[in-house]
Amino acid sequence: MPESNLSSPAESRQNTANPSQPKAFYGWWIVGAGTLILSVSSGIGFYGHGVFLDPLRTLHGWPKATISSAVTLYFLTAGIMGMVIGRQVDRYGPKGVLIIGSVVIGAGFVLLSRIHTVWQLYLVYVMMAVGFSCTSLVPVNTLITNWFIRKRGFAMSLTNTGLSAGGIVLVPLASYMIVRWGLEVALPVLGAIYCLVVIPMAFFFIRQRPSDLNQFPDGEPPVASAGVGSGSPLDYAAQMQVWTRSQAIRTLAFWSIVIAFLLALAGQIAFLVHQVSFLSPYLGVSGAATAVSITAAASIVGRLILGTFVDRCDKRYVIMVCFLVQGVAMLTLAHYNHVIILYLGTFAFGLTMGSIIMMQSLIIGECFGLLSFATVSGLAGLFTMTGAAFGPTIAGLIYDATHSYRMAFTIFSVMSIVAILVIFFARPTAPK
């Protein structure tokens, strides 16, 4: 019988308070496994869309808006599935979800190499979205939230470097394979890589929570944690509060998070999907692929820098800075096409790109604790990802109408600035 994650605070404290814990804290193995899983999930299932866009267009003769709408459907489905997946992860743990998801998306890549019609494109993208939602941030960041409290920001920043590492390694690899072998061969190989990394990591290394190994979050008993009994968001007791979906959805913090990240992620996803297409006229295809790798490398730098201080800061202000940098970067890219500025702009965009995704998980964990993290995170993702999913389609439609990305990127930069004001209201509260 699967163990439920929705135990009471008292039960949770009893389960974790076992004095016979091993000397070596297993949480860092969770960080390592999560990093590898996210590297594949991001490199193939997230960054990869930008690499597939033009080859699919060339192969089938479809307009950019058609393929972009498939990507929109992809993230729309992923957002909807996030709510379902989050509930399953809280109930049954992430291991089975990760394994099933990798098989589904791996099969989806095989089918994508065999499609001939638009309806097949849409159907396969829905299928891949289901697999992606099972192998991305909700299950992995749930693990980090379960295993860490005081060191959560640092641990999550390390784990989320996998999101960028995947872009650095797998985007150029995918681009090379498509050019050399074509989509018919490259896509099944990418699907196989997905499965060969995620399944072993999930099967051999994933453990749902510290109590499974007679350990405590952070590797320390609750009495040794800073701020216990203080009412702080990182107070052990506060982190053990259980939130239902109905309780979370009635809070100002929840809607502040949802609206702010919807606005910011719409532009982020749109830029990533259209990045290669946007940069290719100025940098060439290989130069554009290099720029994607620069963006991914910058996001690693940004996450590592953030991880050194984010646990000691008000996360709202950190998020505001990330939104500001993203908005300025997109506005600069929209209006200047000098080669140096294009590379610098993509680097600046990358510095906060990964951090924004990570900060969404951190602020949810801070406001709603660890026992209900996956449930609340999945519910938030239903709104943020489904809303943000329309970003690529909007960018594609504007491009088809104007033959330029200038207007689209300008609009998205303004949305990032508005998000700065909205996130201010994301303050932790107690369940009612």
* Listed residue (127, 102, 115, 113) closest to 185, CA to CA: 113
Q: What is the pLDDT of residues 49-59, one digit of tens each?
A: 878 878 888 88
Return d(Cα 376, Cα 90) in angstroms, integer: 10
Please measure the distance between the N-terminal and C-terminal CA atoms of the chain and give it in whole angstroms: 31
pLDDT value, residue 412: 93
Q: Where are the domains of the chain?
A: 26-209+231-423
* Listed residue (47, 141, 56, 46) closest to 97, CA to CA: 141
Residue ranges of the chain with per-residue pLDDT less than 70: 1-23, 222-240, 242, 370, 430-432
Are residues 405 and 239 in contact, defined by beta-carbon separation less than 8 angstroms?
A: no
pLDDT value, residue 2: 42
pLDDT value, residue 23: 63
Calculate the alpha carbon distances from 143 to 89, 205, 214, 324 in Å.
9, 12, 16, 29
Are residues 355 and 302 in contact, defined by beta-carbon separation less than 8 angstroms?
A: yes
Q: What is the pLDDT of residues 81-118, one digit of tens each?
A: 877 887 788 778 889 999 999 999 999 999 999 998 99
Question: Cα–chain-centroid distance for residue 196?
Answer: 21
Q: Look at the pTM and tell me if it is higher than 0.75.
A: no
**26-209+231-423 belongs to which CATH class?**
mainly alpha
